Amino acid sequence: MSWLVGVLIILLGLMVSIGLHEIGHLVPAKIFGVKVTQYMVGFGPTLWSRHRGETEYGVKWLPFGGYIRMIGMLPPRPTDAPGTLRSVSTGPWQGLIENARDAAMEEVRPGDEDRVFYRKPWWQKVIVMSGGPAMNFVLAFVLFAVVMMGFGVAVEKSQISSVPQCVKTSAEIAKNPGAECTAADRPSPAAAAGLRPGDVLVSVAGRPVASWDAATRAIRSHGAGPLAIGITRDGRPMTVTANLIAQDRESLDEPGKIEKGVGYLGVSPVIVTERQGIGAVAAHMWDTTSLTAGALLRFPEKMVGVWNAAFSGHERDKNGPVGIVGVGRMGGEIVASSAPLESKVVIFINLLAVFNLAIGMFNLIPLLPLDGGHIAGGLWEGLKRGFARVTRRPAPAHVDIAKALPLTYAIALVMIVMAGLLAYADVFNPIRLLG
């Protein structure tokens, strides 16, 4: 039952995020006078709806997205020259384009000519279509701020909390996590150098270090060999020399990637929970956005990994893509875990923040049917009209994004296949958030 509650909570959070994304489109569309006939959260049959003015607001059964319906998204077919017969192509793609044009104009009534989307200035189109991703970014920032400024985050201090007496490999630790050191084990460089719990790291190789992360990077980059480490012990400054060894360690910048032969000292930091300021939230937002953008660039490669995990039994990449089914399972896993209630709340909020950031970034990809495709069309129209104005030429026609519909249908098909693959992998080889 607790697992099901977690699934419902996370799905509700996703539905709210999707609803706010669509509000990001709806509000500027109405401000600019575009006629919006529908605002829907979800797809499939309608679960509930109600009309307010000219717009129907509702919720559908399948929580896999949402949309607003604006009249005249596509421009009509170019007018044929007077005195000539209308030419109609029998090609399959041209037929799809013409059918889409007709569907876009079906809801245009007399008096709506200036309320169609395609006739709005290019900058208004860009604002309307950017509103959804912008709402996701704002929501992600607010959620990160709630966690970092309200609950606080774990911070590694420059003070040593523990010094292992020996060096054990990752395989040995995984096989027997509580194993004690024996005479056959190699002493850790930190223990051999005389470092103790409570010592504070202040310099590495004579250079000051302001944080544990800075000290760790300096130690790793040094590699194996003797290294001077400045510390304060009971308020007294002193320097010790540690003979570092080379070890394979997980990358600090790319989780899951192993760095070969980095310098290893063998100490652990004191970790405390501290509330952060707005500047730290902004920095975290920037770092997470950069990581998300990099992940999107490697998305095809990541999907190959999902395929291998789904059908070849490979281990699922914890930093790889996950679908709504997988996110729902994570929600169930969080509630069913033995973690303290506050930790569960923090994980839920962080999960929703990352989801909003990812969905905002994904929608900015400049391809239809994503928001980025419409944004690119609006920017291209603005560029053409600006060039015409500078060169004193007649204003060009509105950009006809209907010509990109064949590519749109192909991309939509690819997205459906990827969503199906993710759903299959999330069911049969899911990512274990707490595993």
* 3-state secondary structure labels for all residues of 242-310: EEEEEEEEECCCCCCCEEEEEEECCCEEEEEEECCCHHHHHHHHHHHHHHHHHHHHCHHHHHHHHHHHH
Residues 396 and 143: beta-carbon distance below 8 Å = no
Pick from 190, 201, 203: nearest CA to 163: 190
Q: How many residues are given for the chain? A: 435
Please pick, among 22, 54, 180, 342, the residue that the annotation labels catalytic: 22
d(C-alpha 268, C-alpha 421), whole Å: 40
For residue 78, the tally of other CB atoms under 10 A from its CB is: 8
Catalytic, 106? Answer: no
- Angstrom CA distances, 136 to 65, 131, 235, 358, 363, stand at 13, 9, 48, 9, 10
In sequence order, the 6+-apart residues with CB closer than 8 A to the CB of 265 are 188, 189, 190, 195, 219, 227, 229, 242, 244
d(C-alpha 111, C-alpha 130), whole Å: 27
Catalytic residues, which ones?
A: 22
